[in-house]
Structure 1
Amino acid sequence: MKRVGVIGGSRYFGRHVVLRLRDAGVRVTVVNRGSSPPPPGVDHVIADRDDEAALGAALGNRTFDAVIDQVCNTPRQAAVARRVFHDRTPRYVMTSTIEVYDPASSGLVHPTPPGGGFPEETIDTTHRLVHPELPWHEEAFRNRHYGEGKRQAEAEFARDPAFPFVAVRSAHVLGGGDADFTGRLRHYVERVRTGRPVDIHRVNHPSSFIGEHEIADFLIWAAGADFLGPVNARSHGELDVTDLCTHIADQGTRPPAYRTVEPGSEASPFAFDRYYGMDNSRAERLGFRFSDTADWLPGAIGEQIAALKR
């Protein structure tokens, strides 16, 4: 790849994507609304991706060997991207999410897979209905329907393909410092270190995770490959909420304290009352080799502890 467009990508693990591509000699163009500048040596296109005319005008005559879309969260955004980029790139990679499998929002009742982890075909977005008329422009609505927004965005790309399309369904991303963009890892580090109780369910189910650097590597690998369709990206080694707290306590903090919530009540992030881990065997068959969560999680926790001590 000589030219890659990245929509979003100026913060969090998207910045790792941009820096790795730039340092490999790729000409990178970051497309965003201008709130965060890209790193030096990277082209910058300022445009609102929801404004089709403005996005097309801002891109001018640029073309790309691949586009990595970090922030496509609704079917409306997917429809705009499909029309704007249909003659600009031969490959489009959308960053999707493990939450497409969440039984709480998918409308599907999943039996727990015997080997652990749902394969990509569990959620077939090619036949999923798309509802662009819903209020996707409202931030509160998008946040409440994050998983469904991703499912419908995938469906919008897949049902009328304008280019070879890949949906990278990323596991829950954990990282140190600013890479912890959801604040969830810091939430647990703070709670365990201070002895405040962590709210959990009576039965807590594990899920899939991936480190900030590994998901960046995976997205770049997917952009340069030739497979199509959805692909799961997660490290080996599922974790439940108590596993995560134990990893934190192992770094010299006090033992974690827990408080069990009533059935139907909200618990802390990553305290799941249902299972929706992912199977990563498709990606490994295609040639990507994942690490184990134990390889990178201690480092991410250590960075969070150090940041809280400053």
Structure 2
Amino acid sequence: MRKICVIGGNRYFGRRLVLDLRDAGAEVTVVNRGSVPAPPGVRQVATDRAGLAGALGNESFDVVVDQVCYTPVQAAAAVAAFRGHIARYVLTSTIEVYDEHDADAPLPESAVDPLRQLTRPELPWATPGYLEAHYAEGKRQAEAVFATTAPFAFVAVRAGHVLGGADFTGRLRYYADAVRHRRPVPVRSRNHRSSFIHHAELARFLRWAAEATFTGPVNARSHGEFDVTELCDRIGAQTGAPPIFEVGEGESPFAFARYYGMANDRAEALGFSFSHTGDWLPAAIGEALEAA
């Protein structure tokens, strides 16, 4: 039986991952602040990131899946805590690491190389508001710390924009509510497409990455891309109320000022088979409409 530690894992696709690992027969430990009880059959260790080493002691795991590492400081603490105690570390990273690239085609993992990324642990990562404003940079630097200093195998799963299920971000729900109630949706004069992934598929991908042997960054996204107007048109088709668009600065969650696509060739070459966004999007929209 494999021993797997999930840091975070108390909501959304993280909790789905924990359930998937448990049901597959793994011995799962979740490490979080304990605000939500772990599912039956899953051990829970309540601590924050600063207390990782003390809370886990000399316990060893086959794999750690880290859902909540956002800065180089947090990454360095994890490397120190798990040094000599694990074989593999999977970091849930993000499509946002590509935010400095103005591309017109899906970006491969090589577009952001963590081995070449400068790290700045002295920046005010703990200052309220700083991390939120520098989320993409924090993730890039966290990847870099693991890639350059970890004495164990490391994978960075760069997830597309996640939709479906109990999405705490409320982004799809925002559009569902606006379209259904005939409120104008802010868009840009030119709207760019993005890569998406279903929450259950991302959980399945993370489990796959935990069980595999490859290393390095890997993009995780379903086939097919949408821009904000196409997404709202899909919502309108399900509600019977065509969307109303308000062209301007586009201050809404998926009104992107640049193309936001990733290539998923590496993952597929390694053996993972992705779904198509168009196949699961109607159900995700239905969930958002129910929650709106």
Match of 2:216 in 1: 229
Length-normalised TM-score, structure 1: 0.92
Residue 161 of structure 2 is matched in structure 1 by 172
Change (3 A) 1:61 1:160: closer
Q: Which residue of 1 aligns with 2:2?
A: 2
Which structure's residues are more often strand, by fraction?
Answer: 2
1:122 aligns with 2:119: no
Cα deviation, residue 300, structure 1: 1.0
Q: For residue 138 of structure 2, what is the aligned residue in structure 1?
A: 149
- Contact 1:30 1:38 (C-alpha < 8 Å) held by counterparts: yes
Return the letter of the residue paired with 1:303: E
Give the secondary-structure state (helix, strand or coil) at the position aligned to 2:225.
Answer: coil
**Distance in structure 1 (CA, Å) of the matches to 2:126 and 2:239:** 45
- Cα RMSD, aligned residues only: 1.1
Is this contact kept in 1: 2:173–2:291, CA < 8 A? no
Deviation at 1:307, TM superposition (A): 2.7
After TM superposition, where is structure 1 displaced by more than 3 Å over at least 4 residues in a row?
none
The partner residue of 1:197 within 175, 180, 184 is: 184
For the 8 Å contact 2:222–2:276, the answer to whether it is kept is yes
Name the counterpart of 1:38: 38
Superposed displacement of residue 266, structure 1: 5.0
Whole-Å Cα distance in 1 between the matches of residues 128 and 26 of structure 2?
34
Contact 1:127 1:159 (C-alpha < 8 Å) held by counterparts: no
The equivalent of 1:106 in structure 2 is none
Deviation at 1:23, TM superposition (A): 1.0
Note the alpha carbon deviations across 1:262-281, whole angstroms, 9 max, x for none: xxx45211111111210000
CA distance in 2, matches of 1:145, 1:276: 17
Shift of 1:57: 1.6
The answer as to 2:58 corresponding to 1:74 is no
Deviations 1:7-47 (A, max 9, x none): 00111110000001111111100001122221111001111
Report the identity percentage. Answer: 59
Give a deviation string over 1:110-129, Cα, whole Å, max 9, x none.
342xxx31000001121111
- Correspondence 1:25 to 2:9: no
* Separation in 2, partners of 1:227, 1:154: 16
Superposed displacement of residue 294, structure 1: 1.1
Shift of 1:252: 2.6
| SS, match of residue 271 in structure 1 | coil
Aligned residues: 292
Q: Which residue of 2 aligns with 1:289?
A: 273
The answer for unaligned runs of 5 or more in structure 2 is none
In structure 1, distance between residues paired with 2:185 and 2:9: 32
Q: Note if 1:241 corresponds to 2:264.
A: no
- After superposition, give the CA deviation of every residue in 1:203-256 in whole Å (9 maximum; x if it has no partner): 001010000000000000000000000000000000100111011112133000
Q: Alpha-carbon deviations, 1:97-151, whole Å to 9, x = none?
A: 0000012xxxxx4342xxx310000011211110111111124111111100000
How far did 1:61 drift? 2.9
Residue 161 (structure 1) aligned with residue 150 (structure 2) = yes
Q: Give the Cα separation in 1 of the matches to 2:273 and 2:128.
A: 36
Distance (whole Å) between structure 2 residues aligned to residue 125 and residue 87 of structure 1: 22
Secondary structure (helix, strand or coil) at the match of 1:303 reads helix
Q: Among residues 237, 244, 259, which one is paired with 1:275 in the alignment? A: 259
Within 2, Cα distance between the matches of 1:245 and 1:111? 24
Name structure 1 gaps, 5 residues minimum: 104-108
Range with bigger deviation, 143-152 or 57-66? 57-66
Does residue 59 of structure 1 match 2:48?
no
Q: Deviations over 1:37-78 (max 9, x none)?
A: 2111100111110x1xx3212112321111100000000000
Q: Which residue number in structure 1 is paired with residue 290 of structure 2?
A: 306
Q: What CA distance in whole angstroms lies between the structure 2 residues aligned with 1:158 and 1:307? A: 39
Amino acid at match of 1:120: E
